[in-house]
Amino acid sequence: MSIRIDEELCTGCGACQASCPYGCIEIIDDKARITDECTLCGACVEECPVEAIILEREEIKAEKMDISQYKGVWVIAEHYNNKIHNVAFQLLGKGRELADVLKVNLSLVLLGDDFDDKLEELGQYGEDEIIYVKSKILKDYYSDLYVKTLTELIQENKPEIILIGATPTGRDFAPRVAKRLNAGLTADCTGLTIDLETRNLLQTRPTFGGNIMATIRTPSSRPQMSTVRPGIFKIAPKTNKKAKIRKINYDYKQKDSVTKIVKVISREKIKINLEEAEIIVSGGRGVKSKENWHIIEELAEILNAEVGGSRVTVELNWVDHDRQVGQTGKTVSPKLYIACGISGAIQHIVGMQGADIIIAINKDENAPIFKVAHYGIVGDLNKVIPALIEEIKKTKKDLKKNNL
């Protein structure tokens, strides 16, 4: 197993050097040279315009998997307190798209109890089928029971793609299921497309703290599993279609799990859900002080919006940690996102670029936030925001008048 450069073909163009996330390629005498630090990640191979980089895998005398046996797209639902996590509906939207490209069925897999009377409504989000595994104990999340049940279901039904929300729950069971199946799993994806020729799922995810994006594929084995970041894809539209319901009863007992849930503790704080907000007004370093933060709150109030903040505003304690938008905070996709005094570091951008409309207000006309913004206002936010609040009041008043 090794990587090498075909020196006859190599033109020393340097495309590979730019693509290497580890900085392991040097250009010496117009030829690329790979240093010992190379991790064999393979990122350079596709980049080479003359196919001079060869990544050799040792041939293993193992039976090659017949990947054509695997058909269909699955979305695994997660729930708490008998409420399905929103990411499942986002995955149904994306899953429908992928299933249509592949011309296969889309299934929602739900492990729970007490969902019987909700299945019909749940079946209206574009899926062809709901696989409902019912067991009393599954009203709560048990890592080992999820792993066991899902592995068995997957082995029996052989879906080619499995999408799971990248929540602490999804990211708990997905790797273990993947390992038991010896299947490829890609974490925390933010982009999913199909390469129709190979039927491979191309899974794009931020890596190195959001500084670079990597597209990952699982070319020779199935199923292809992804955990997908919540808030990236739009919720599937409700249809009149009704999914077929397949109910499987399991008689799990407490003793079937190696773990026991002792209790659930609610954290004492205001429950906010930035991921579901339609409008978010966020502030950054440009707000200047905690005392001045009210200006962000006032704009949010008039728009009936949630307040968000960049990482630095959380570190400076201007705003609560739950409201941080970005790589280390929440990923949001509201209808409207207003960034006030936020310069637009890539770590922030990855958390909000999914918004339908982005407005940036910043003093520095060269701030990178303007590159993602749909509307940019260069100016002092202390002057712009009060003027904007007045204008919004006026616009809303006019609209009300016209509607009467």
Partner 1 sequence: MKIFTCIKQVPGISDVKIDPKTNTLIREGIPSIMNPMDKNAIELALSIKEERGAEIIAISMGPPQAENVLLEALSMGADKAYLLTDRAFAGADTLATSHALALGIKKILKDSDSNEKYMVICGTQAIDGDTAQVGPELAEDLDIPQITYVQKFELKGDDKVIAERAFRSEEIVVIETKLPVLISVLKEINTPRFPSMLGIVNAYKKKKVVFLDAEALKAEKAYIGLTGSKTEVFKIFIPERKGEHVKLTGTIEEMVKTLCQNLKEDKIF
Preceding omega of 219 cis (within 30 degrees of 0): no
- Please work out the total of residues on this chain that contact partner 1, with binding judged by CB under 8 A: 110
Please state the closest distance from residue 229 (CB atom) to partner 1, in A. Answer: 11
Quote the CA–CA distance of 152 and 144 in Å, as a whole number: 12
Closest CA to 89 of 67, 122, 115, 64: 122
Applying CB under 8 A, which of residues 13, 215, 288, 363 lies at the interface with partner 1? 215
Residue 270 CB, shortest distance to partner 1, in Å, is 10
Q: Using an 8 Å Cβ cutoff, are 309 and 318 in contact?
A: yes
| Residue number with CB closer to partner 1 (116 or 364) | 364
- 3-class secondary structure for 23-74? CCEEEECCEEEECCCCCCCCHHHHHCCCCCEEEECCCCCCCCCCHHHCCCEE
In angstroms, what is the minimal distance from the CB of 388 to partner 1? 5
Answer yes or no whether residue 209 interacts with partner 1 by CB under 8 A: yes
Query: Least CB distance from residue 94 to partner 1, whole Å?
Result: 19
CA-CA distance, 379 to 115, in Å (whole number)? 52
Count Cα atoms within 13 angstroms, Cβ side, for 237: 3
Interface positions, 20-49, toward partner 1 (CB under 8 A): 21-23, 36-43, 46-47
Closest distance of CB 319 from partner 1, Å: 15
**Cα 3 to Cα 25: distance, rounded to the nearest angstrom:** 12
As given in the structure block, the two tokens for residue 322 are 């739950």
Q: Please classify residue 157 by burial: count the beta carbons closer than 10 Å to its beta carbon, then call 0-12 exposed, 13-18 middle and 19+ buried.
A: middle
As given in the structure block, the two tokens for residue 336 are 């409207």
Residues 6+ apart with CB under 8 A from 41: 21, 22
- Interstrand relation of 31-34 and 25-28 (parallel, antiparallel or unpaired): antiparallel
Does position 262 bind partner 1 by CB under 8 A?
yes
Q: Is 185 near partner 1 (CB under 8 A)?
A: yes
241 lies in the site for partner 1, by CB under 8 A: no
What residues numbered 130-149 form the site for partner 1, per CB under 8 A?
141, 143-144, 147
Of the pair 167, 292, the CB lying nearest partner 1 is at: 167
Which of 90, 135, 149, 169 lies at the binding interface for partner 1 (CB under 8 A)? 169
Figure out which of the listed residues 116, 212, 237, 247 binds partner 1, where binding follows CB under 8 A. 212
Instruction: Draw the binding track, 96-125, toward partner 1 (x: CB under 8 A; -: no contact).
Output: ------------------------------
Q: Which is nearer to partner 1, 68 or 182 (CB)?
A: 182
The length of the chain in residues reads 404
- Binding flag, residue 265, partner 1 (CB under 8 A): yes
User: Could you say which residues in the range 51-90 bind partner 1, by CB under 8 A?
Assistant: 55, 57-58, 60, 62, 80
Note whether 350 binds partner 1 by CB under 8 A. yes
Phi-psi region of 330 (alpha: psi -120 to 50; beta: other; left: phi over 0): beta
Per-residue string for binding with partner 1, 361-380, x by CB under 8 A? ----x--x-xxxxxxxxxx-
For residue 315, give every residue at least 6 positions away whose Cβ sits within 8 Å of its Cβ, in sequence order, or none: none
Identity at 374, one-letter amino acid code:
H
Q: In the bound complex, what is the minimum distance in angstroms from residue 24's beta carbon to partner 1?
A: 10
Other Cβ atoms less than 10 A from the Cβ of 319: the count is 21
DSSP 189: E
Span near partner 1 by CB under 8 A; candidates 18-26, 88-96, 111-119, 125-133: 18-26
Nearer to partner 1, 143 or 157 (CB): 143
- Which 219-238 residues touch partner 1, going by CB under 8 A? 219-221
Q: Which amino acid is at 9?
A: L
Q: Is 276 in the site for partner 1 (CB under 8 A)?
A: no
CA pseudo-torsion sign 144, 150, 151, 153: positive
Residue placing its CB nearer to partner 1 in the complex, 249 or 266: 266
Interacting span for partner 1 (CB under 8 A) from 154-162, 184-192, 241-249, 293-301: 184-192
